[in-house]
Amino acid sequence: MAVIFTSLRYLSVYSFEYQIGGNENWVVPPAIDTRIYVDWALENRFQVGDTARFKHRKDSVMKFRVEDYKKCNSRHPNFFSNTVHHLNHPASSYFISGVSGHCEKGQRMIIIKVISTDQETNPSLQLFLLQEC
């Protein structure tokens, strides 16, 4: 029995809830730092099972395809919520504010390809995202 319980400890999957933007929450960034959310996301390692919590007032968050994200095109969101997004799939996610004009001011973010616990973040993907944003 001891061997089974010890083995299960190593198979455990831990999830984490990220407060998007840290203490700054989900707000329009200052004009001098429009990349605040992109930079914040690059500093974190997101994994399948984690949750992204968007804390805000009088705003919302929408998930988009990369093409719409790049253009701040909010006409066809894939996801709309006032608070949370569950990272259930190993794919990058693109978010913008649901308030008109906020995306253009930098209130948008990419959650880099969600990784499993046994993989490392792809450095070439991070470089690509830095150049694209």
Residue 101: alpha-carbon gap to chain centroid: 20
Q: What is the pLDDT of residue 116?
A: 60
The C-alpha R_g of the chain, in whole angstroms, comes to 16
Contacts of 85 (CB under 8 A, 6+ apart): 51, 52, 54, 61, 63, 79, 93, 95
Residues 89/123, Cβ–Cβ less than 8 Å? no
Q: Compare 125 and 64 and report the one with higher pLDDT.
A: 64
pTM reported for the whole predicted model: 0.72
CA distance 90 to 94: 13
Q: What is the pLDDT of residue 105?
A: 93
Q: What is the pLDDT of residue 13?
A: 57
Residue ranges of domains in the chain, CATH in brackets: 15-132 (2.60.40.420)
Residue 59 has pLDDT above 70, yes or no: yes
Q: What is the pLDDT of residue 130?
A: 43
Q: What is the pLDDT of residue 106?
A: 93
Q: Are strands 61-64 and 51-53 parallel, antiparallel or unpaired?
A: unpaired
pLDDT-based confidence at 127, cuts 50/70/90?
very low
